Structure 1
Amino acid sequence: MLLPILLLAAAGFTVLTTEFVIVGLLPGIARDLEVSVSQAGLLVTLFAFTVACFGPFLTAWAARFERKRLFVGILLVFAASNALAAMADNLYVMGVARLIPALGLPVFWALASETAVDIVGPAYAGRAISKISFGVVCATVFGIPVGTLIGDALGWRAAFAVLALLALAKALLLYVYLPRTPRHNQATSLLGQFGILRSRLLQGHVLLSVLVFSGMFTAYTYLADMLERLAGFDGALVGWCLMGFGAVGLIGNSLGGRAVDRHPLKASAAFCALMMVGMIAVVPAIHTVYGLGLALAIWGMTQAALFLVSHVRLIKAAPQAPAFAASLNIAGANLGIGLGAVIGGRVIDTLGLANLGYAAAILIGLSVLLALGLMSPRLQPATS
Structure 2
Amino acid sequence: MLLPILLLAAAGFTVLTTEFVIVGLLPGIARDLDVSIPQAGLLVTLFAFTVACCGPFLTAWAARFDRKRLFVGILLLFAASNAVAAMASNIYVMGIARLIPALGLPVFWSLASETAVDIVGPAYAGRAISKISFGVVCATVFGIPVGTLVGDALGWRAAFWMLAALALAKALLLVCYLPHTPRQTQATSLLGQFGILRSRLLQGHVLLSVLVFSGMFTAYTYLADMLERLAGFDGATVGWYLMGFGAVGLIGNSLGGRAVDRHPLLASASFCALMVIGLVAVVPSMQSPIGLPLALAIWGSTQAALFLVSHVRLIKAAPQAPAFAASLNIAGANLGIGLGAVIGGRVIDNLGLANLGYAAGLLIGASVLLALWLTSKRFTAS
- The reply to whether TM is greater than 0.5 is yes
Bigger drift between 318-327 and 186-195 goes to 186-195
Change (3 A) 1:360 1:110: same
Aligned to 1:341: 341
Contact 2:201 2:378 in 1 (8 A): no
What is the CA deviation profile of residues 102-126 of structure 1, one whole-angstrom value per residue up to 9, with x for unaligned ones?
A: 0000000000000000000000000
| Equivalent in the alignment of 2:167 | 167
Query: Deviations 1:26-64 (Å, cap 9, x if unpaired)?
Result: 000000000000000000000000000000000000000
Identity of aligned residues (%): 88
Superposition pairs of residues 144-159 of structure 1, within 5 angstroms:
144-159=144-159
| Mapped partners of 2:136, 2:117: distance in 1 | 18
CA distance in 1, matches of 2:44, 2:191: 29
Helix, strand or coil at the partner of 1:34: coil
Match of 2:93 in 1: 93
The structural deviation recorded for 1:163 is 0.1
Please give the alpha-carbon distance, in whole angstroms, between the structure 1 residues aligned to 2:215 and 2:372.
17
* CA displacement at 1:269 relative to structure 2: 0.2
Count, aligned residues: 382
Aligned partner of 2:138 in structure 1 is: 138
Deviation at residue 171 of structure 1 after TM alignment: 0.1
Cα deviation code 1:319-345 (max 9, x no counterpart): 000000000000000000000000000
Q: Which residue of 2 aligns with 1:225?
A: 225
Shift, 1:189, TM fit? 1.4
3-state secondary structure, aligned to 1:184: coil
Aligned partner letter, 2:39: Q
1:63-112: per-residue Cα shift (whole Å, max 9, x none)?
Answer: 00000000000000000000000000000000000000000000000000
- Equivalent positions of 1:1-384 (< 5 A) are 1-185=1-185, 187-377=187-377, 381=381
Measured on the aligned residues, the alpha-carbon RMSD in Å equals 0.9
Contact 1:45 1:338 in 2 (8 A): yes
Q: What CA distance in whole angstroms lies between the structure 2 residues aligned with 1:221 and 1:184?
A: 39
C-alpha distance in structure 2 between counterparts of 1:195 and 1:222, whole Å: 38
Structure 1 regions of 5+ residues with no counterpart? none
> Shift of the alpha carbon at 1:230?
0.3
Separation of aligned partners in 2, 1:90 and 1:137: 31
SS at match of 1:369: helix
With structure 2 as the length reference, what TM-score do the two structures score? Answer: 0.99
| C-alpha deviation, 1:190, in angstroms | 1.1
Unaligned runs of 5+ in 2: none
CA–CA distance in structure 1, aligned partners of residues 101 and 149 of structure 2? 23
Residue by residue over 1:274-314, the C-alpha shift from the partner in whole angstroms, topping out at 9 and shown as x without a partner, is 00000000010000010000000000000000000000000
CA distance in 1, matches of 2:68, 2:362: 44
